[in-house]
Structure 1
Amino acid sequence: MPLFKRQPSVLPGFHLTLGFSLLYLTFIFFIPVGGLLLYTSLMSWEEFWRAISHPQVVASYRLSFFASLIGASINLVFGALVAWVLVRYTFPGKRVVDALIDLPFALPTAVAGIALVTLYASTGWVGQYLEVFGIRVAYTQLGVVVALTYIGLPFVVRTVQPVLEDFESELEEASAALGASRLTTLRRVIFPTLLPALLTGFSLAFARALGEYGSVVFISGNMPYLTEITPLLIVAKAEQYDYNGAAAIGTVMLLAAFVLLIIINGLQWWSSRRFAH
């Protein structure tokens, strides 16, 4: 009689599907990322530091990270509000609004960039009225934030929306029956449930904005030290056959995004543990 008895797998073909998954990840993720890190490791420290610490590169870091952070923060608030309205209320055109949320997923980013320029240029449909108040969007850092906010909204809405749909309304009713105000119910009952989804949506929107290229390249104006984002600088260096510089900058962005995602995942774990008790 065997000492250990094998438990039947819930899903048939586990080893086969696991092998295909690892093979897919190897070709799609591990080999490209490993190749980038290997190419960068062949550079000397002086070459690497010279490539990543140039003032123009540092300025692009600053714009990319801060604009992505601002855009993801805006989406964190308004994306949650949009998800709340779509789940909790019924109104004419609700299905159309729900479908339009996914427009940044379907619309090519270059087309989105051209559309944003058409809207927010000084002679555009919206920009001409903002110009009266001295507000310029196109070809400024504000335009970069607008573009990154546009492409990140669906990540927050589609992450929070299922959690709201599965939320038990009895919990709100019980909170109200115990005398809690609406603000207290929102803060003590609803918000702890939504917090992991909010952090997930925020991290997805932030990561997506950090690597965005197409929609930003048109509305930013690509002015060095002012409106030049890091992905554009990487492409420019690659087109100039400066592969060392492109690889070095790409490695910095990769490592920075990885560290930030670890921090956000840590916050998710902390929030789930804290509010679970």
Structure 2
Amino acid sequence: MSRAARRSPGVLPGFGLSTGFTVLYLCLVVLVPLSTLALRSSALSWADALRIVASPRALASYRLSFGASLAAAAVNVLFGVLVAWVLARYRFPGRSLVDAIVDLPFALPTAVSGIALTAVYSRNGWLGRWLEPLGIHGAFSPLGVTIALTFIGLPFVIRTVQPVLEDLDPEVEEAAAVLGAGRWQTFRRVLLPAIVPAALTGFALSFARALGEYGSVVFISGNMPLRTEIAPLLIMTRLEQYDYAGAAAIAMVLLAASFVLLLAINRLQAWTRTRTGQA
């Protein structure tokens, strides 16, 4: 019976055919463009490549891009889990509208979101006029870059954590309360182990999306070299100057650093799942 079940045809093709199409698709969509990027940057000598990728302007753009992306992803994890909890656990008037608004950054063109955020947080904007007297510059500053990256990355965390919370039976929390656990103890011992892998996945997705963001940041950042210039903008600047090899070299730095960071997050996620399974 088991041998017949293993031989029964499934909906998808067999392993060999499916694997072949998968590898071909990944090669055409991912590996070939990335290999072309590496080939472009190899046109530079080691000295020229080091001069470009380690210039003060490039280092400043790396610090802003990675720092703002990490900060935005961390903020999104904190508030994204809270929003996902509210949407998964409570029923209230307007819930469907709130649930739809969560996906708005997905559908909104990034240039439009950048213009909107700039209008809100600039010196004469709705919020900026109140923040400027307090010394808080919400536009044309690193804070403005972080705000834009937080805006475009929030749905990734919410849509990753929300299904996990919806699948988690509320009776588990009630059982913990009946056994004498407090709210913080229930969250730490029951809810947190279940949502940590999903939260890490949302963090990785939000970070990766923020690192490559261009349209929404280019308006609110001010694009001041050494201060508010992000790495994708520096790449675009070199492309406009027809310096394709230099742009490819900077892109390779972002690619390598983001790959290492995402790999570390995935390993941490796997370790968390293992510890949760053992517990």
Q: TM-score, normalised by structure 1?
A: 0.95
Match of 1:258 in 2: 259
Return the offset for 1:184: 0.5
Q: Within 1, Cα distance between the matches of 2:239 and 2:169?
A: 52
Q: Within 1, Cα distance between the matches of 2:50 and 2:151?
A: 34
Measured against aligned partners, the alpha-carbon deviations of 1:72-131 in whole angstroms (never above 9, x if no partner) come to 000000000000001111111110110000001000000000000110110111111112
Tell me the amino acid that sits aligned with residue 65 of structure 2.
Answer: S
Tell me the amino acid that sits aligned with residue 33 of structure 1.
Answer: L
Match of 2:246 in 1: 245
Measured against aligned partners, the alpha-carbon deviations of 1:141-194 in whole angstroms (never above 9, x if no partner) come to 100000000000000000000000000122112211211111101000100000
Match of 1:11 in 2: 11
Tell me the amino acid that sits aligned with residue 131 of structure 1.
Answer: E
Residues 43, 245 of structure 2: 8 Å contact kept: no
Q: Within 1, Cα distance between the matches of 2:146 and 2:112?
A: 17
Where in structure 2 are the equivalents of 1:177-192 lying within 5 Å?
177-192=178-193
In structure 2, runs of 5+ residues without a counterpart are 1-5
1:63 aligns with 2:64: yes
Match of 2:143 in 1: 142
- Range with greater deviation from structure 2 (166-175 or 207-216): 166-175
Match of 1:215 in 2: 216
Tell me the amino acid that sits aligned with residue 10 of structure 2.
Answer: V
Return the offset for 1:42: 3.4
Q: Within 1, Cα distance between the matches of 2:247 and 2:43?
A: 14
1:33 aligns with 2:55: no
Match of 1:272 in 2: 273
Tell me the amino acid that sits aligned with residue 29 of structure 2.
Answer: I
Q: Within 2, Cα distance between the matches of 1:110 and 1:122?
A: 20
Match of 1:3 in 2: none
Where in structure 2 are the equivalents of 1:79-90 lying within 5 Å?
79-90=80-91
- Identity of aligned pairs, percent? 58
Where in structure 2 are the equivalents of 1:121-160 lying within 5 Å?
121-160=122-161
Tell me the amino acid that sits aligned with residue 41 of structure 2.
Answer: T
Tell me the amino acid that sits aligned with residue 175 of structure 2.
Answer: A
Residues 40, 244 of structure 2: 8 Å contact kept: no
**Matched position secondary structure for 1:265:** helix
Q: Within 2, Cα distance between the matches of 1:45 and 1:248?
A: 10
Tell me the amino acid that sits aligned with residue 121 of structure 1.
Answer: S
Give the aligned length.
273
Tell me the amino acid that sits aligned with residue 216 of structure 2.
Answer: S
**Matched position secondary structure for 1:59:** helix
Tell me the amino acid that sits aligned with residue 263 of structure 1.
Answer: A
Q: Within 2, Cα distance between the matches of 1:258 and 1:98?
A: 31
Tell me the amino acid that sits aligned with residue 74 of structure 1.
Answer: V
Return the offset for 1:16: 4.0
Match of 1:173 in 2: 174
Tell me the amino acid that sits aligned with residue 140 of structure 1.
Answer: S
Measured against aligned partners, the alpha-carbon deviations of 1:207-248 in whole angstroms (never above 9, x if no partner) come to 100000000000000000000000000011011011111010
In structure 1, runs of 5+ residues without a counterpart are 1-5
Tell me the amino acid that sits aligned with residue 196 of structure 2.
Answer: L
CA RMSD between the two structures: 1.4
Return the offset for 1:9: 4.6
